[in-house]
């Protein structure tokens, strides 16, 4: 896990080629291989940001495979969506989601589109327009339980050109609805230039029930805090928090 974090931060060499066998599931590592696969996809996200065709060939089969674990499919979805604006990509995802049986992934997709469609950041204008067009034809499924989701909120001062955004995502265990993976990112900018970024992520193996309870409490308090204090900024370095079995 530490090696994957280092690869993500350093971004030296073709790490996607090194991690490709793990991502495809051809090589199994550790007693939690799904956890490692998800982190490997997350590690290459920046490295493949401008490699549209390669990313599609690597991650689209994972996203489209309904037998893959939810966390891996969501991380694949995140990486594919990060290569916007790309009308062909978002249309492919739209048609895939029309037949998607997993309500967690579908709701994650829907809330992602809503966040982008409501963005006020001028830099996201092309993406915002695409998201609004697709959202008009995206069916809202009835929700009977808490589902995995993503919330994106941003703000831009038109006079002083100060901007900030919050990105919050949670992946819930499908049977219990308990959050076991997710992240929170805060980003601010001035004159459309990034000035600071802070983030916290967690990924807890599902069977660690005690940790799951703790993450659930953090999830509930964080969501309430974001609603109350949307414009409070914290200037600390980007960090990752992981929970391991003692």
Q: CA distances (Å), 207 to each of 36, 88, 145, 174, in order?
A: 15, 39, 21, 13
Helix or strand (DSSP H, E) at 35: helix 33-43
pLDDT above 80 (res 223)? no
Digit-coded pLDDT (tens) for 15-73: 999 999 999 999 988 788 888 999 899 899 988 989 999 999 999 999 999 999 999 99
Under DSSP, is residue 79 helix (H, G, I), strand (E, B) or coil? helix
Interval 103-130: pLDDT, tens:
999 999 999 999 999 999 888 899 999 9
Nearest to 82 by CA among 59, 62, 107: 59
8 A C-beta contact, residue 149 and residue 177: no
Helix 33-43 / helix 15-24 crossing angle, nearest 10 deg: 150
Give the pLDDT confidence score for residue 227 in this predicted structure: 44
Q: Tell me what pLDDT residue 6 has.
A: 78
Strands (E), 48-178: 149-156, 162-172
């Amino acid at each position: 896990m530490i090696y994957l974090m280092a690869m993500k931060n350093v971004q030296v060499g073709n790490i996607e080629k090194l991690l490709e066998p793990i991502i495809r599931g051809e090589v199994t590592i550790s007693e939690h291989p799904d956890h490692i696969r998800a982190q490997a996809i997350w590690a290459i996200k920046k490295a493949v940001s401008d490699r549209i065709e390669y990313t599609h060939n690597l991650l689209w089969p994972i996203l489209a495979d309904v037998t893959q674990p939810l966390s891996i499919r969501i991380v694949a979805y995140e990486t594919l969506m990060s290569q916007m604006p790309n009308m062909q990509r978002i249309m492919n995802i739209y048609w895939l989601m029309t037949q998607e049986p997993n309500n967690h992934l579908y709701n994650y997709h829907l809330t992602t589109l809503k966040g982008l469609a409501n963005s006020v950041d001028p830099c996201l204008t092309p993406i915002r327009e695409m998201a609004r067009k697709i959202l008009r034809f995206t069916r809202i499924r009835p929700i009977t339980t808490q589902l995995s989701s993503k919330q994106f909120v941003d703000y831009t001062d038109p006079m002083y050109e100060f901007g900030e955004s919050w990105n919050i995502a949670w992946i819930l265990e499908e049977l219990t609805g308990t959050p076991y993976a997710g992240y929170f990112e805060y980003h601010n900018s001035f004159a459309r230039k990034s000035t600071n970024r802070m983030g916290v992520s967690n990924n807890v193996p599902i069977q660690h029930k005690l940790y799951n309870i703790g993450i659930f409490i953090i999830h509930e308090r964080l969501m309430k805090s974001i609603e109350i204090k949307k414009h409070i900024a914290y200037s600390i370095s980007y960090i990752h928090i992981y929970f391991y079995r003692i």
